[in-house]
Structure formats: structure tokens, C-alpha cells
Structure 1
């Protein structure tokens, strides 16, 4: 009887989940384009907000900041599912890749934020008195908690904290938690993994726990077996799901909001997260990912021809996300034009973009250095601890 049940489970799993296969080139390029577009949406949302600018950006373009972060969560789970199926099949390679991915940008973003904020406070302190710019005074706790990605952990009762003006940093606490939980569940024994994951969620708090299913949705989607459908149906699903994401800010007005009943604090202001909107965007984007992979499996010449510039834009995603707001704050503080001026808009966009482009190669170099030296450094630390324990 037990053997029959086990065989049935295996057959069900085989029908539901596909064997790991490489991502089609066109689909991989499409994912890079989505990643950069999401980071750009966050940038535009902040660029269009007062007192950075006022009225010089079409208001509709500034409404995608929250939706873009939701896309990041789903896409992150999808990519981690893929990499752990191929390249990161052992705990050691997974840990090295996750640490190098996060800290290659964080170790530049934190000192950069402090430098830009210090310069801005010296040049125009009154601008930084606006709470939207510097929500709370700069503090060592803000930087240290961010360095270890516990800035959003409700167990510490920070009540909304960030490294200086770097408000977008909040999502890294979520991202790092999901990396940690995925690593525990994938590479540790179940009798340890499940309790350990629940402990992490308990420490992190209800908001990180409430958005974990979005990340898990992306992870599961990558491993699902896609049913065969006619190309016309995949095209319909592709464009319909994309339109749902694009029009999500308008559709949101017609969706019942659980966020009004549930207090899910997030960000440096401990805002109330609207989980209903997050789940709507995530499900719409999930449909887009499934249809895009099926539709682009046979290739797409326009995407392949633009692979080089799209890959380059994709490499800017993380630096753009984590560097842009302190840069915008400094450049807005010293900008001679009024908030509604198009010259101010061009000035802020150009300087912030140039800073991101200039520092992105340093992030790549740091990532390679961490990957190269982290294994030997961990061996030295373990050797030192072993000698100290004798």
C-alpha cells in the first residue's frame, strides 16, 4: 500500500513539474528587459515625487513603484528556482552566489548613501528636513541593520528605518529573508529546515511572511510543466497579462483592499502594505511569465538582435535600484531650477543615471572578487575557530 501511494506521488509530481531545462535565449533576454523596466519604474516614481520634482513627469508614469517591487519578488523566486536547478545545486555554491549578489552592490550603496547624504546636508540642510527626503535622522542602527538585512525585522521594533535617505533599501530585507529560507529548505534536512524557516519568519514579522508566497509563486512557476497550447492562445495570454500589469494602478481602484484591515508595516515610514494589490500584480505577472516562456521558446529575432544592449541594461538593474534615491536627493538639493522645471528633471535624471552607469562596473568587479575570495576566507575562519576551541 505504501509503495503504491509513493508511486502515485511520483507520477503526480512528474505530471505537474517538468525536468529542469535551460531558459530559452529570447525568454532570458525578455526577463532582463523586465528587470530593468521594473527598476526604471521605481526610479521614475521617485523622480516624479515632490520635493524631487513637481508636475514635470506625466503622473501615470509615477504610479508603478510598488508594482515594480512586486515584480522583483516574483522574478527573484523564478530566477533562484532556475539557478538552483542548474548552477547552484550545492549549499556552498548557493551561499556564495547569494552573498556575492547582495553585497556586491550593498557594500557600495551604504558608503555611497552616507557620502551623498553628508554632502547634501552640508550644502542644503533645509532640503533634508523634509520628511520624505530624510524620514528619520541618520543613525548607526539604520546602517548596521541594513548591512545585515534585518532593517525590516519586526522583532527589533525599529518602526521603519533605513540607511539615511535610501528608502528603497527596505525590499532587500525581504529579499535576503527569502534567500535564507529557500537555502534552508533546499539544502537542509526537513526536520531542521521547516522549524528553522518558521523561526526566521517569526523574527522577520508578518509583512515579510505575507509577501513570501509571491516569491514562492515565482519559484514554483519555473518548475511547472507548461501545457501545450496553440500559439494564438499564448499570444492572447501574453498580451492580456501584460496589460493587466500595465493598468494595475487603475484596476486597483476596483479591488477590495485587505490592506485597510490588516496592518502590514513596511519601509522607513512603517507604511501599511496593500497586500491585495501585491497579489493581483503578482498573479498577473505570473501569467505573463508562463505565456512568455511558451511563446518565446521558439525564439524572437527582435529580442535576439537587441541582446547586447538589453543585457547591459539588465546589469544596471540592481545598482539603479539601490543608488538612485540618495543621488536624486543630493542633486535635487543643489539643483538651481524649480521643482516644476523640465531643466531640473533632465538635470536629475542625467546625473543620477550617469552615477549608476559609472559605478555599475565596480559592482561587477566586487561580485567577482567576493566569489573568488569568499571560499578561502571561510576556510581560514573555520581553521581559526577550530584552533581557538582547542
Structure 2
């Protein structure tokens, strides 16, 4: 993992989160259809696949180079998710309840599921809102669905990595049945990231000449695919082969064939970048800083957009108002990150100290 490649991954991580923000900001209820072309490109859904491939690569790297035991792996993954997810759930719940009271018309739509605090915390903190037959939307926080997928991938990966023989078979089977097929059909993209790390580690990378093609051809192929409406065609083909009218019952996995193709393009691109990325590059702290708040940007922006848009009144329906909404949401997300996401090391240290204190023998 060279410094150059690490910086590139950080830039990609922030870029994907920002594209998801733009994709939701472009909804007509926020920007009156002015930026609907962003929605029509469906870039937000594709950006989540970028996250999945990156996650597979980074988690495989961390498990291999840093965690090395099941306990450390579980601690790292759980704390990473909960450090942002728990405060995001509470913020979302609070904003949704206040917003729905002040501006009920703005919350009267498919985008708001007014579940109670108990269900919010249970489904949100267990990361099971998309497992099995569940398709629960957490308030207005649409992006939260992907954490349900991420947690499932972590569980199955951990089982595969740290169990053996019959125990592994039984645990993987039980896990797969509990998680359900909707999530499993998107796991190939995540596993491509895992495979990418092992190829990088073993040095199985494109040559210098091949790397140019590996870097450039996937973005070109992606642009051509969007122009030719390949995602829609593959989704229609999926429904036809399965004998369905459409793939809506698959929830957020409705484009699973296209997502697999996109996963291949992203993986090839990353392998090409890894082949030419070097250690002797500047650290670029601004890129690191942006990436360090990207999880918060991804997870908090939607309820903020939903709350701030009606709060801005008529000004929010102007060209300047659209930009103010975008900028205010962005700033609020990064303020949130300062308090929660960037304090992960401190949170982990505090948790370890608390556990050690509880385990201390008490003198009678």
C-alpha cells in the first residue's frame, strides 16, 4: 500500500461521498428539477458500488496487516461503524421529528418513514434494516441502507477468515440465510476489492504499459455504457431471465448485474493505479482531511437536506438558495465529522480503558 495509492483511495472515497450528496441534492423537492440531469445519470447508486469495492480492499488490507485476529477485526469494524452510525441515527431522528412537526408537507412522501425511536435504534444499531425480507427506511436517511450491506459483508468475511472446516461451512450457511439473497447478490463487488488487495500484496499487477490501459479504459467504458443505457438494459435482462416484471423486489440490489460489471471496471482501474502509484509523493493533507469526514458526509447529508430545505423558505427555491443548501449541508456534515468521525481513536482508547476497568479484580 504505497502512499500514492493510499492518497488516491482517499480522493476516490471523498469523491464518491460527494457524488451521493449531489445525487440527493438534485431531487426536484430540493432544487426544483434544475439539476435533474444528475439524477438521470444515476451516479449516486454507482458511487455506492465504488464504496463497496474500496471497502473490500481496505478491510482486507486491515485484516491482513493490522487486525490479524478475529477479536481485533471485530473491534475495529464495530467501532468504525458505531462511532458515526449512532450519533447519525440520533441526529436524523431529532431532525425528522422536528421537521415533520414544523413542515409536515415537506415530509409527506416516500422519503420519510416515521418509525419510532426504539425501531430506529434496533434496526440502525444492529445494521439489519435490509436483512432477510426487511426493507426498512430509517426515517429520511436513505443512505443508511448500505451500512446494512457493509455489516453483512464484514460478518461473512470474518467468518471465512477466522473459522475452519465444518464450523466455517455451518456459520457461513447460517449467516447467508439470515442475511438473505438481496445482500448476497451485491457481495461480488465487495469481494472484488478483497481480491484487488491480494493481487496488490502479491505483486500481481499490470505492467507499466498495461497500467495505462487499466487506468484509462474503465472510465471510458463506463461513459460509453451510460450513453448506451447499459445499466437499464442489464436490469431489464435480469428481470426477463428471472421471469419477473421488474427487479423492484430486490430493493437496493435491483441493478445487481450492472453493479457486478461496474465492480470489475473499478477493480481493474484500481489495479492500474496501484501499479504506478509510488511512495515518494507529497502527503496532500487536504485530501486526507476530506476523506477523514467522508463517512459523515455520506451518512448525515440526507436528513440535513430534508430539514434545511423547508427551513430556508422561499429563498431555498432560488438559484442562490440551491447553492446555499448544498454548502450548508456540506459544512454541517464536516462539523459532525469533527465531533464523531475524527475522534475514533480517542473513542476506541476510552472504550478499551472502560473494558479494562470493568475487568479489574475487585478487592472485597
Q: TM-score range by the shorter chain?
A: 0.7 to 0.9
1:290 is displaced (CA, Å) by 0.7
Asked whether the 8 Å contact 1:81–1:222 carries over to 2, the reply is: yes
State TM-score, norm by structure 1: 0.82
Asked whether the 8 Å contact 1:252–1:277 carries over to 2, the reply is: no
- 1:284 match: 265
- Within a 5 Å distance, the mapping from 1:35-54 to structure 2 comes to 35-54=13-32
Between structures 1 and 2, the one with greater helix share: 2
CA distance in 1, matches of 2:279, 2:268: 19
- Within a 5 Å distance, the mapping from 1:94-133 to structure 2 comes to 94-131=73-110, 133=111
Partner of residue 188 from structure 1, selected from 157, 160, 163: 163
Question: Is 1:205 matched with 2:205?
Answer: no
- Within a 5 Å distance, the mapping from 1:195-234 to structure 2 comes to 195-224=170-199, 225-227=202-204, 229-234=206-211
1:353 is displaced (CA, Å) by 0.9
Question: Is 1:73 matched with 2:52?
Answer: yes
Cα pair distance change 1:312/1:333, threshold 3 Å? same
CA distance in 2, matches of 1:286, 1:217: 6
Question: Is 1:25 matched with 2:6?
Answer: no
- Within a 5 Å distance, the mapping from 1:1-390 to structure 2 comes to 23-57=1-35, 59-60=37-38, 63-131=42-110, 133-134=111-112, 136-139=113-116, 140-154=118-132, 157-158=133-134, 160-224=135-199, 225-227=202-204, 229-246=206-223, 248-253=225-230, 255-257=233-235, 258-261=237-240, 262=242, 263=247, 265=249, 270=251, 273-297=254-278, 301=281, 304=282, 307-337=284-314, 341-364=318-341, 366-375=343-352, 377=354
CA distance in 2, matches of 1:277, 1:150: 24
**Which SS does the other structure have where 2:335 is aligned?**
helix
- 1:18 match: none
**Which SS does the other structure have where 1:137 is aligned?**
coil
Asked whether the 8 Å contact 2:296–2:341 carries over to 1, the reply is: no
Cα pair distance change 1:74/1:272, threshold 3 Å? closer
Segments of 5+ residues of structure 2 without an aligned counterpart are none
CA distance in 1, matches of 2:324, 2:106: 17
1:370 is displaced (CA, Å) by 3.6
1:291-313, CA deviations, whole angstroms, 9 ceiling, x for partnerless residues? 010021465x5xx36x1110011
Identify which range, 374-383 or 283-292, moves more after superposition: 374-383
CA distance in 2, matches of 1:163, 1:89: 34
Identify which range, 339-348 or 94-103, moves more after superposition: 339-348
Segments of 5+ residues of structure 1 without an aligned counterpart are 1-22, 385-390
Cα pair distance change 1:215/1:383, threshold 3 Å? farther
1:336 is displaced (CA, Å) by 2.1
Asked whether the 8 Å contact 2:83–2:340 carries over to 1, the reply is: yes
Cα pair distance change 1:272/1:228, threshold 3 Å? closer
CA distance in 1, matches of 2:115, 2:293: 27
Asked whether the 8 Å contact 1:35–1:72 carries over to 2, the reply is: yes
1:382 is displaced (CA, Å) by 7.7
**Which SS does the other structure have where 1:312 is aligned?**
helix
1:98-138, CA deviations, whole angstroms, 9 ceiling, x for partnerless residues? 1111011011101100111122112211110022x31x322
Cα pair distance change 1:110/1:338, threshold 3 Å? same
**Which SS does the other structure have where 2:34 is aligned?**
coil
CA distance in 2, matches of 1:273, 1:380: 47
1:271 is displaced (CA, Å) by 5.5
CA distance in 2, matches of 1:87, 1:31: 18
